[in-house]
Amino acid sequence: MMLRYRGLLFSVCRRYSGDGMEVDDLLQETMLALWNLREQLFSITLAPRQAAWIWRVARSTCIDLRRKRSNDPAPLPDDYDVPEEDHTLHDALHELIAQLPEPDRTIVTMHLEGYEYKEIGHRIGMNKNNVGVRLMRIKEKLREQWNTK
């Protein structure tokens, strides 16, 4: 089940942190919270409801962890080895997405999380055709912004 919703989980955790290591921490804490609440999760039978419930748990976990950490900032030591993965392009794209106005940001985020147009439209109050057209326009806007960087 976690594999099915990994995109959703990563997206939520990514929204609450710009740092790759912190995203990993948030993701790990979210997985732990979901494990502890697994009986409730397995009692939900419809996939859209599962996704919404997982999204709420992930969001709450990220907010709680960020609050705890803001009270106790502990900087990394100077000799800390930076991971070799380079997320520069990924980070830049998420910065552009974060600058989008609502509901464009929600449409793109849900699309990246794997939601179908119908589900996105239901959540934001549009029909699936309008979501498709809007998503196409958002992608064009993102391409233009990307090319001007």
**What digits encode the pLDDT tens for the residues 121-132?**
888 888 989 999
Whether residues 109 and 68 share a domain: the answer is no
With contact defined as beta carbons under 8 Å apart, do 96 and 145 qualify? yes
Nearest 5 degrees, angle CA 122-CA 27-CA 67?
A: 90
Whether residues 104 and 47 share a domain: the answer is no
**Residue 6's pLDDT band (cuts 50, 70, 90):** confident
Is pLDDT of 83 > 60?
no
Whether residues 58 and 92 share a domain: the answer is no
Give the residue from 72, 106, 126 where a domain finishes. 72
Give the residue from 26, 49, 72 where a domain finishes. 72
Name 95's Cβ contacts closer than 8 Å, sequence gap at least 6: 18
Please give the pLDDT value at position 37: 87
Whether residues 52 and 91 share a domain: the answer is no
Is pLDDT of 120 > 80?
yes
Is pLDDT of 116 > 60?
yes
Whether residues 146 and 99 share a domain: the answer is yes
| CATH code (residue 122) | 1.10.10.10
Based on the number of CB atoms within 10 Å of its own CB, is 80 exposed (0-12), middle (13-18) or buried (19 or more)? exposed
Is pLDDT of 33 > 70?
yes
Query: For 72-85, what is the mean pLDDT?
Result: 53
Calpha distance 121→129 (Å, rounded): 9
Q: Is the pTM above the cut of 0.75?
A: no
Give the residue from 17, 49, 72 where a domain finishes. 72
Q: Does some domain include residue 80?
A: no
Please give the pLDDT value at position 38: 84
Query: For 72-97, what is the mean pLDDT?
Result: 63
Q: Does some domain include residue 81?
A: no
Whether residues 91 and 146 share a domain: the answer is yes
Whether residues 4 and 28 share a domain: the answer is yes
Whether residues 113 and 60 share a domain: the answer is no
Query: For 15-28, what is the mean pLDDT?
Result: 79
Query: For 74-90, what is the mean pLDDT?
Result: 57
Calpha distance 106→98 (Å, rounded): 10
Whether residues 65 and 2 share a domain: the answer is yes
Q: Which domain holds residue 13?
A: 1-72
